[in-house]
Structure 1
Amino acid sequence: MGEKLPFVTKDQLEHAAATWPTPFHVYSERLIRERARALVAAFSWNPGFTEYFAVKATPNPTIVSILAEEGCGCDCATATELAIASACGVRGGRIMLSSNDTPDEDYRRARELGAIINLDSLDMVDCLARALGGELPPMVCLRVNPGGDFTASNGIIGEPADSKFGMTVGQALEAARRLSGMGVAEFGLHAFLASNAQAEDYYPRLSRMLFGLAVRLWRELGARVRLVDLSGGIGVDYRPEDVPVDIAAVGAGVRGAYEEVLVPAGLGDVALAAELGRWMLAPAGGLVTRVIHEKVTYRDYLGVDACASNLMRPAVYGAYHHITVMGREAEPATRRYNVVGRLCENSDQFARDRMLPEAHVGDLLFIHDAGAHGHSMGYNYNGTLRSAELLLREDGSFELIRRAETPGDYFATLDFPGSRFSALARPEG
């Protein structure tokens, strides 16, 4: 079994912790840029390729700005995520609004920014027309759910028929017919069927299905598909024994399907897109926490100053995140621990029965692959406060890119006229 190593040293983390106490999330600028460039290189054969970074994964404006510098756009699900994209200088067709159960104001905000709008259901055709006063954009994207036996190696979304996302193929054809009648001239196709798929054939299989539908829309309706968005879903190697997905092989597989299906149909100018969040950012981030208690009952427990409020995936999904005891990377794993947080929930455990080098109060732990769906999924249960986010710059320096919450932040929403708790929202001192 190979060992996963942090992208940062113990000395670096101790230096950072002297200024910004644990717990905190830390991200590697070097890894973020490397992964963005690897993805673009894998699809460089398609001149129109765009990575619409899934903002939901890591909605920090500094990180979104770094990705924008690398040519990435933004995949947004809400008006707030649209605002993040705009604040980072991302505009127009570099933004994709891929949402479901969408309020009218989100459609209007997307139009103001010139974003591509991706419709999740057939009823949203009329919703979009109402929201925009009948003035539809020249291109609309359609999210498709093929149902049937299209499966991927993931345990988060599951079978297509059990997913709330997308419309049936028949509904997509009807949506294109209606939209064409409303003046929409061009279309995009999109599907979101997997999360953390480990197999390299997921994108190629998905692309073949969407390419076939693009040909069908053209032949049956005369509807021209200009964009095929493969969405997200490509996974990462959370466990040491996992084999990393070869993104170059994925790109080559999609190219094979493109040349077999689209090119012969005269659709060789279709642009491709991805909306990777986890693959882009998970390995580029970690949660840093310190051991504050040791407890031995029926198990050996390491109590840390982080909790599920900082990284909820283990508590909610039973997800595996590798843990390194900083400074003991080369030592054998001789003790079996449960690594736990302080929430009043037994599910608040980062690891159960995990073999680690012997650890003690004061040790720093690095929880791997927390750069996506980590800080972004934080919450305030038990009055916990969300932690800081740091960026490890390419020159080795640290930058605070989101401060830790304070008790004043917790009470801030009570600061309104007539509230007897307004004083609690004021800064301490």
Structure 2
Amino acid sequence: MVSTHAVNEKGHLVLGGIDSLELAKTYGTPLFVYDLALIRERARAFINTFKEQNVPAQVAYASKAFSSVAMYQVMKQENLSLDVVSSGELYTAIKAGFPVDRIHFHGNNKSKEELLLAMEHNIGCIVVDNFYEIELLKQLTAEHNQKVNILLRVTPGVEAHTHDYITTGQQDSKFGFDLMNGQADLAFSQVYEDDYIQLLGLHCHIGSQIFETIGFKVAAEKLIKKMIEWHHDYDFECTVLNLGGGFGIKYTKEDTPLEPSVYVKEMIMVVKSLIAETNFAMPEIWIEPGRSLVGDAGTSLYTIGSEKEVPDVRNYLAVDGGMSDNIRPALYGALYDAVIANKVGEKADITYTIAGKCCESGDKLIEHIELPKAEPGDILAMFCTGAYGYAMASNYNRLARPAVVFVENGKHQLAVRRETLEDIVHLDLPLSMEKE
């Protein structure tokens, strides 16, 4: 595996062949640094496994993990497809010149305007999530005399071993048509013979940060069983089976993710064995890795500022970012590892709590971590922040969102510039009403 970091002769953390202190000095902090070599390696591992198994497939980057024009262009270079969930992500993909036939549009409450944007650009597939969306699509496609390709998103009743907030495949979910209570069958009946809606197949997504394959295998079995049932009853030929994403990464030493090829091979084995029992042609398998493509390729750099010792309780070490650029620890207790980038070789013998600068007591990036003695101006590097860091960043406390830099083999480029104070107020309007 390509390593996203190393240590140079100065004892400094190196990212993508570049001293992290040089990156912090050049671009400022907080700073998201993405190692493209690792992203490319992961993308190719997914794609090549399907090729080795001689299975038709699309590997779609689940871009809610991190969306930008430059990142979409990287995925285009690697021949991936793209999973978008909003008009903003779709518009970004279009601006990036991403091939529209490889864009899949998700979301549990797509608006009329979003569906029209998707139709205007003739994107490859719309993943239909609910009956309201079916009604909208029927109306819009008939009005515009335009056909669309769709998948039906279903909830297979599979609970992944993950946090409640990021589990989406069980019955109690805001996503998709339930396979077990007849909703999926009703949705099928509403779209199967429509003049403008071309049903390609089924989609499911059972959760995120998953470290085992059994959930994917059980979900695949349920979807294929439904495919067989619809073929028997309606002569429906399913050409696409989308098994979603959720493949885990190693945030800390306690995490035990599998290699991309392992997830893919297990999925293929189940689909092949079940299809072999039928007269069906092998459907094209789609998957949607997001975190597993960009998560551990991202590192956040912060400048250390104040320190507060609470005797017999903890030592707070504050950095110049926090929940405004990484909400995950505050939102659902996400765990991270970190080093002081300019003191990597020094003895880590002090326990710190890494605190952000937002006015919230819960703004802690790491509750307990052993580090060398920290000084103001040191650079803290927090690992595996490439997924849902910048993507979920906000201007809380009117803090500017960080810059994003890409590194690869000793080269670096700015991918998203840092927000300025003027950026923060550029949507604000002055008061126009007179005081009464």
TM-score (norm 1): 0.91
1:177 to 173, 189, 198: 189
1:133-212 alignment runs, 5 A limit:
133=142, 135=145, 137=147, 139-147=149-157, 150-155=158-163, 156-158=165-167, 160-169=170-179, 170-183=182-195, 184-212=197-225
Partner of 1:292: 305
1:72 to 80, 83, 87: 80
CA contact (8 A) 1:122 1:172 kept: no
Distance in 2, matches of 1:204 and 1:93, equals 28
Q: Please provide the CA RMSD for this pair.
A: 2.2
Partner of 1:9: 14
The answer to whether the aligner puts 1:37 opposite 2:44 as a matched pair is: yes
Distance in 1, matches of 2:108 and 2:162, equals 21
1:192-341 alignment runs, 5 A limit:
192-297=205-310, 298-341=313-356
CA 1:166–1:186 in 2, change beyond 3 Å: closer, same or farther?
closer
The answer to whether the aligner puts 1:342 opposite 2:357 as a matched pair is: yes
Write the letter of the residue equivalent to 1:163. Answer: S
Write the letter of the residue equivalent to 1:145. Answer: T
Distance in 2, matches of 1:417 and 1:51, equals 49
Report deviation, 1:157: 2.9
Partner of 1:427: none
Partner of 1:362: 377
1:359-384 CA-partner distances (Å, limit 9, x unpaired): 22221111111111011100011111
Number of residue-to-residue matches in the alignment: 414
Write the letter of the residue equivalent to 2:72. Answer: V
Q: Secondary structure at the match of 2:142?
A: coil
Distance in 1, matches of 2:166 and 2:323, equals 21
Report the more deviating stretch, 25-34 or 247-256: 247-256
The answer to whether the aligner puts 1:410 opposite 2:417 as a matched pair is: no
Write the letter of the residue equivalent to 2:333. Answer: G
Report deviation, 1:296: 0.8
Report deviation, 1:56: 1.1
CA 1:407–1:138 in 2, change beyond 3 Å: closer, same or farther?
closer
1:316-362 CA-partner distances (Å, limit 9, x unpaired): 11100111221433444311111001111011101112222332222
Write the letter of the residue equivalent to 2:147. Answer: P
Report deviation, 1:415: 5.3
Report the more deviating stretch, 26-35 or 201-210: 201-210
Distance in 2, matches of 1:406 and 1:46, equals 50
Distance in 1, matches of 2:275 and 2:35, equals 38
Which consecutive residues of structure 2, in runs of 5 or more, have no partner in the other structure? Answer: 7-12
Q: Secondary structure at the match of 1:265?
A: coil
Report deviation, 1:123: 3.2
Distance in 2, matches of 1:46 and 1:90, equals 26
Distance in 2, matches of 1:83 and 1:339, equals 36
Write the letter of the residue equivalent to 2:68. Answer: N
CA contact (8 A) 2:87 2:117 kept: yes
Write the letter of the residue equivalent to 1:103. Answer: S
Report deviation, 1:75: 0.4
CA 1:303–1:138 in 2, change beyond 3 Å: closer, same or farther?
closer
The answer to whether the aligner puts 1:351 opposite 2:366 as a matched pair is: yes
Report deviation, 1:285: 0.5
CA 1:21–1:133 in 2, change beyond 3 Å: closer, same or farther?
same
Write the letter of the residue equivalent to 1:371. Answer: G
Q: Secondary structure at the match of 1:162?
A: coil
1:287-314 CA-partner distances (Å, limit 9, x unpaired): 1101111211242111111111111111
Percent identity among equivalent residues?
27
Distance in 2, matches of 1:346 and 1:196, equals 27
1:375-396 CA-partner distances (Å, limit 9, x unpaired): 11000111111010001123x1
Distance in 1, matches of 2:430 and 2:238, equals 50
Partner of 2:400: 385
Partner of 1:425: none
Distance in 2, matches of 1:393 and 1:257, equals 37
Distance in 2, matches of 1:223 and 1:140, equals 14
Partner of 1:56: 64
Report the more deviating stretch, 133-142 or 347-356: 133-142
Report deviation, 1:57: 0.8
Write the letter of the residue equivalent to 1:172. Answer: A
Report deviation, 1:5: 7.4
CA 1:74–1:416 in 2, change beyond 3 Å: closer, same or farther?
farther
TM-score (norm 2): 0.89
Distance in 2, matches of 1:417 and 1:73, equals 45
Report the more deviating stretch, 270-279 or 350-359: 350-359
CA contact (8 A) 2:206 2:246 kept: yes
Report deviation, 1:266: 2.4
Report deviation, 1:160: 1.1
CA 1:61–1:416 in 2, change beyond 3 Å: closer, same or farther?
farther
CA contact (8 A) 1:43 1:49 kept: yes
Report deviation, 1:85: 1.5
Distance in 2, matches of 1:136 and 1:355, equals 60
CA contact (8 A) 1:337 1:354 kept: yes
CA 1:326–1:102 in 2, change beyond 3 Å: closer, same or farther?
same
CA contact (8 A) 1:340 1:349 kept: yes
Distance in 2, matches of 1:137 and 1:263, equals 32
Write the letter of the residue equivalent to 1:399. Answer: Q
Q: Secondary structure at the match of 1:328?
A: coil
Which consecutive residues of structure 1, in runs of 5 or more, have no partner in the other structure? Answer: 421-429
Distance in 2, matches of 1:253 and 1:403, equals 41
CA contact (8 A) 2:72 2:98 kept: no
Distance in 1, matches of 2:4 and 2:77, equals 27
